[in-house]
Structure 1
Amino acid sequence: MDSLKEGDSRSSNLGESMSKKRKGGVSGVEETLDRVSQLPDALLVQILSLLPTKDAVASCVLSKRWCYLWYSIYNFLFINSDYRTENFIYFVDHVLTHCTSSNIKKFQLNFDYMTRWNFDLETIRWISFAVERKVEDVILCSDDEELTYKLPLSMGTCSSLITLNLSRWVFDKRLAIAWNSLKSLKLDLISLDDDDIVNLLSGCPAMETLELFFFRGFRRLEITSSNLKRLTLAGHWRPDFENDTSLEIMAPYLQHLEISGNLYNLMCRLVNVSSLVNAKLTFNITCIKSIQSGEYDNDVEEATCGDYHQVLRTLVQDYLHKLSYATELSIGTCFREVLCASQFEGVPWVLIPDLKCKYLTLELHIGNFNLHGLAGLLRASPNAETLNIDIAITLFGSPCRFESKYLGKVDNANIERRISSFPFPNLKIVKIGISVEMCLKYNFAWQFKKLFELSKFLLKIATVLEKFIITSERRKCRRCSMNCESRLLSQLTEKLLRCARSSANPVFIFQE
């Protein structure tokens, strides 16, 4: 085939390997090939459709039986880094020209960032072909920051589309979207204005899942469809530090919400999320001190920094009120830092609502500052039955002036005194896990003390505790050449076995 002669030699690895083995007289390989070849064509096409497209095409050299089977495949994966540019264009054109499938299941284009070639004309041709063949799942990715691609106008009328995943692709303003069958939409590194969002949502009436990664541009997200149940917002892309950076979310039928990653100074405000069942809020917001002055410049007035944190405090309190009826919550460090500061500012507990959640997950960086924020969240979660604590140990920059005010106070505060009078009659399972990329043998003494303090405290407040689970990754540390994480957590488990507890017979489990 011409495509195998002119394409990159890697495209024929499968065929060359099998051909060499057959010429060498390897009877076992021949026997296996014969058995596979006896399968019906439909099953062989199904197998080939699961392979990378270059390997599916290369199968034509196996035997006459296989020569034309790849014509019928219905999944296509094209990666330009597998070929020189001219050969890549030739290969894709050749494959699509010989495609006999009337229904394409999956169509994927990946453009490597090393390629300085604009495939605009080619992508219009290729994507339009997939649309004509009633494609269901489309993935279009570009790693090049300098080149962006527009969806062809023909894509807007693709009524067969079920899932769409775009990375660094943009929407043409002339694109009229009518994706009536679309269930899932994932957009990565993309800029959308409010009109784009309205156009998207109105053109996808059946959409159930919307995921936006490293997004920017829009200020209002109003979801009126009762079908859209799951929303993910992860990371703010190229933030605008000068203008208003608030985002209002109105989604009365939404059941699952995730807001994560670094939002910089973007304030996501939940206007209406009354149907939420599951919420994951592990985002980080950058202090105004870092935004305006650089991380190590202390010339910003303390009052300005304090005002900014007051906005954060109000935002967090509003989140807790809006999410108070969710049954499953995952909360990041930003919440606990704000709650910790609120406690020392004298904010009444009545302003922090009781959470109804039964499954509570907390992301935690071990330290007094966060432990006291954790105490506030536990006090607000008397209905929790399962508590998961995911611990990460990272290096932080210097705290801002507002945060520094509380570090000294926290060092001398008693965590137990703050909530020891509040029973936790429903907490049955506690699970603690550590995710680190550092040596714990030499760098964890202080954190180990805090982790033990936290674990011992949980044993005291959980009156019906059934299981206390500590999990560790089995890995060999590069620095100490030991499994230091497992050894340390195993020691923690042994120490906890000797501690007082409120429940009768909790089971301690150490898992690797």
Structure 2
Amino acid sequence: MASLNSSNNGDFRSSNLTDSVPKKQKNGIAGAEETLDRISQLPDSLLVQILSLLPTKDAVASCASSKRWRYLWTSIYNFLFISIDCKKAENFMSFVDHVLTHSTCSKIKKFQLDLGYTSGLKISQWISFAVERKVEDVVLCSYDDDLSFELPISICTCSSLITLDWSCCVVDKESVIEWKYLKSLKLNYIFIDDDDIAKILSGCPALETLELSSFDGFRRLEITSSNLKRLTLDRYWWFYGRVEDPLEIIAPYLQHLEILGDLDYLTCRLVNVSSLIDGRLTFSITCITDIWGVDPDAAEHSCADYHQNFRNLVLDYLQKLSYVTELIIGRWLAEQLNGVSLPKLRCKCLTLEMNVTKHNLYGVASLLRTSPLLETLNIHLGAELNNFRCQLELSYLAKGDTISLQSWISGIVFPNLKNLKVVGCIAECFKRWFGRGNDKLFELSEFLLKNAMALKKFVIVSERRICRECLESCESRYLSRLAKKLLDSPTSSMKFVIIYQESASE
């Protein structure tokens, strides 16, 4: 602790604060002070730009650095308020009110609220403040799925808005949506009916990207604007009971489509997606025997028809996407391809987001057989979040145990395949998963080496890490062993290399 010495004239002076500090720590303090001094010499506009990149709590705390910094935070144009930084809701609301009251910024670039608690009244006031300052980007994140926030009236006609990311949103039936310059809209944990989604889309003539996650309500998504090019549907979340009607997607100008996550029992029908360039289909749908609330006897009786509907759905997807040049396929879809006659695919880049196992090898082989233009194949090994399979599925998926790729795709070569890439998954315990006899990755890799005449490189990417489950470096051990085994495999290309890359875990 620093001591204070009294002089004869009554003046108080601090003793040397660094006298008792170790030399190494002195150097650190001096270095930090020198860095702060150098930063303080920058012009105000640049310092405000730096502070605007920080969470608002840290930007405000900078006022204690020196007199030079005392009021700089009042000019920041990005605001990020995180409620969990305060233990009490009252403290959080007081802090936000204090910051906004002292703000001198005339135009807000980004306004973000990360909420675990608070009242709707305050949210409306804060959003209205941002709207008055011509905010461009608004983000409202909620950590509580049970919270819901009605879209404030002030933001519904915000002409300066460019991006909106809103969680737990409720749209007032009487509200008018006018977002003339909005380009990106993300709605999370939302129940919205057909009329509301149509009203939103008609009020966003410049919209380019629409992302809906954990959604329910609407069953018709019609996109008529030629500006909207990208659509993402991620996870179905039933709020008020199950409705078996499919979701119809009519989007003739759409170029990029992603359907992913657990859709529970929801089926999406692609009515018109004739302009697609690329697609990602990594969703899963639950078998009727695993749907909560369905009578077990009735489910068992309907199971076969249910899976036939799955296969018809998947076939329709691949027909509608047969002309795309880039395609990403997930584990569930690949498992539905047993007995399905696939259309020819014009895909040049195919990514498989799955562990290659006996359950999906048949489907993977079918995709490869129908992709004669394929130039790049990526395999992203990934954890299976929902791996429930009914008895009917297990019976026909067992075919992967006996399938011979060479006989199944006999006479098929890949004259255009130049690049192969396998990427590990940090969420997977390779020792546990591949120790069950499920692994078919080597078999697939060896087959491709034999038949890819123009192959240039086979890249295997691993992360050097200690697995939390087995407490070993299971990923790098598995993938390095795969690379070594492939070195001894026969190949049809004489000008290719196997590259094994290993990076340290961050």
Give the TM-score normalised by the residue count of structure 1. 0.88
2:321 to 305, 320, 323: 323
Distance change in 2, residues 1:397/1:177 (3 Å): closer
Alignment partners' CA distance in 1, 2:385 and 2:73: 52
1:333 to 331, 334, 340: 331
> What is the aligned partner in structure 2 of residue 143 from structure 1?
143
> What is the aligned partner in structure 2 of residue 91 from structure 1?
95
> What is the aligned partner in structure 2 of residue 52 from structure 1?
55
> What is the aligned partner in structure 1 of residue 347 from structure 2?
357
Alignment partners' CA distance in 2, 1:266 and 1:435: 28
> What is the aligned partner in structure 2 of residue 8 from structure 1?
none
Is the counterpart of residue 496 in structure 1 residue 494 in structure 2? Answer: no
Q: CA deviation at 1:124?
A: 1.5
Alpha carbons 2:191, 2:239 under 8 Å: kept: no
Distance change in 2, residues 1:298/1:493 (3 Å): farther
Alignment partners' CA distance in 2, 1:473 and 1:374: 25
Alpha carbons 2:426, 2:463 under 8 Å: kept: no
Give the TM-score normalised by the residue count of structure 2. 0.89
Alignment partners' CA distance in 2, 1:483 and 1:310: 41
Is the counterpart of residue 416 in structure 1 residue 406 in structure 2? Answer: yes
Alignment partners' CA distance in 1, 2:125 and 2:413: 66
Identity %: 58
Further displaced range: 173-182 or 240-249: 240-249
Distance change in 2, residues 1:91/1:311 (3 Å): same
Q: CA deviation at 1:364?
A: 2.5
Alignment partners' CA distance in 2, 1:155 and 1:505: 59
User: Which runs of no fewer than 5 residues in structure 2 stay unpaired?
Assistant: 1-16
Q: CA deviation at 1:121?
A: 1.6
Please identify which structure carries the higher helix content.
1
Further displaced range: 41-50 or 301-310: 301-310
**Equivalent residue runs for 1:119-134 within 5 Å:** 119-134=119-134
**Equivalent residue runs for 1:456-471 within 5 Å:** 456-471=446-461
SS of equivalent to 1:313: helix
Alignment partners' CA distance in 1, 2:224 and 2:292: 37
Spell out, residue by residue over 1:137-193, the C-alpha distance to the aligned partner (whole angstroms, 9 max, x if none).
Answer: 101122223331112111111100011111112222222111111111111111111
Alignment partners' CA distance in 2, 1:486 and 1:156: 51
SS of equivalent to 2:359: helix
Equivalent AA in structure 1 for residue 225 of structure 2: S
Further displaced range: 279-288 or 493-502: 493-502
1:43 to 46, 51, 54: 46
> What is the aligned partner in structure 2 of residue 214 from structure 1?
214
Alpha carbons 2:283, 2:333 under 8 Å: kept: no
Distance change in 2, residues 1:63/1:469 (3 Å): closer
Spell out, residue by residue over 1:97-149, the C-alpha distance to the aligned partner (whole angstroms, 9 max, x if none).
Answer: 1111110111111211xx4x4x1221121111110110001011222233311
Root mean square deviation of aligned Cα: 2.4
Alpha carbons 1:293, 1:299 under 8 Å: kept: no
Alpha carbons 2:145, 2:189 under 8 Å: kept: no
> What is the aligned partner in structure 1 of residue 185 from structure 2?
185
2:443 to 450, 453, 465: 453
**Equivalent residue runs for 1:167-316 within 5 Å:** 167-238=167-238, 242-291=242-291, 299-300=297-298, 303-316=301-314
Spell out, residue by residue over 1:64-114, the C-alpha distance to the aligned partner (whole angstroms, 9 max, x if none).
Answer: 2222222211111112222222222222112111111110111111211xx
Q: CA deviation at 1:420?
A: 2.0
Q: CA deviation at 1:435?
A: 1.5
Alpha carbons 1:241, 1:265 under 8 Å: kept: no
Q: CA deviation at 1:478?
A: 4.0
Alignment partners' CA distance in 2, 1:257 and 1:396: 22
Alpha carbons 1:366, 1:447 under 8 Å: kept: no
Alignment partners' CA distance in 2, 1:221 and 1:368: 37
Q: CA deviation at 1:308?
A: 0.8
How many equivalent residue pairs? 478
SS of equivalent to 2:448: helix
Alpha carbons 1:277, 1:326 under 8 Å: kept: yes
Equivalent AA in structure 1 for residue 345 of structure 2: L
> What is the aligned partner in structure 2 of residue 81 from structure 1?
84
Equivalent AA in structure 2 for residue 59 of structure 1: S
SS of equivalent to 1:369: coil
Distance change in 2, residues 1:310/1:101 (3 Å): same
Alignment partners' CA distance in 2, 1:31 and 1:463: 61
Alignment partners' CA distance in 1, 2:391 and 2:126: 55
SS of equivalent to 2:134: coil
Spell out, residue by residue over 1:288-340, the C-alpha distance to the aligned partner (whole angstroms, 9 max, x if none).
Answer: 1112677xx97456551111111111111111111011010001122221112
Alignment partners' CA distance in 2, 1:252 and 1:395: 32
SS of equivalent to 2:290: helix
Distance change in 2, residues 1:272/1:242 (3 Å): same
Alpha carbons 2:183, 2:209 under 8 Å: kept: yes
Alpha carbons 2:358, 2:439 under 8 Å: kept: no
SS of equivalent to 2:176: coil
Alignment partners' CA distance in 2, 1:272 and 1:443: 39
Q: CA deviation at 1:423?
A: 2.1
SS of equivalent to 2:482: helix
Alignment partners' CA distance in 2, 1:459 and 1:470: 14
Spell out, residue by residue over 1:442-465, the C-alpha distance to the aligned partner (whole angstroms, 9 max, x if none).
Answer: 653454752221111111221211
Alignment partners' CA distance in 1, 2:389 and 2:452: 33
Alpha carbons 1:265, 1:286 under 8 Å: kept: yes
Alpha carbons 2:423, 2:462 under 8 Å: kept: yes
Is the counterpart of residue 67 in structure 1 residue 65 in structure 2? Answer: no
> What is the aligned partner in structure 1 of residue 4 from structure 2?
none
Q: CA deviation at 1:32?
A: 3.1
Alpha carbons 1:387, 1:429 under 8 Å: kept: yes
Alignment partners' CA distance in 1, 2:185 and 2:433: 43
Further displaced range: 310-319 or 60-69: 60-69
Alpha carbons 1:141, 1:169 under 8 Å: kept: no
Distance change in 2, residues 1:376/1:475 (3 Å): same
Alpha carbons 1:256, 1:277 under 8 Å: kept: yes
Alpha carbons 1:153, 1:174 under 8 Å: kept: no
Runs of 4+ in 1 over 6 A off after TM superposition: none
Alignment partners' CA distance in 2, 1:240 and 1:35: 58
Alpha carbons 1:327, 1:358 under 8 Å: kept: yes
Alpha carbons 2:358, 2:438 under 8 Å: kept: no
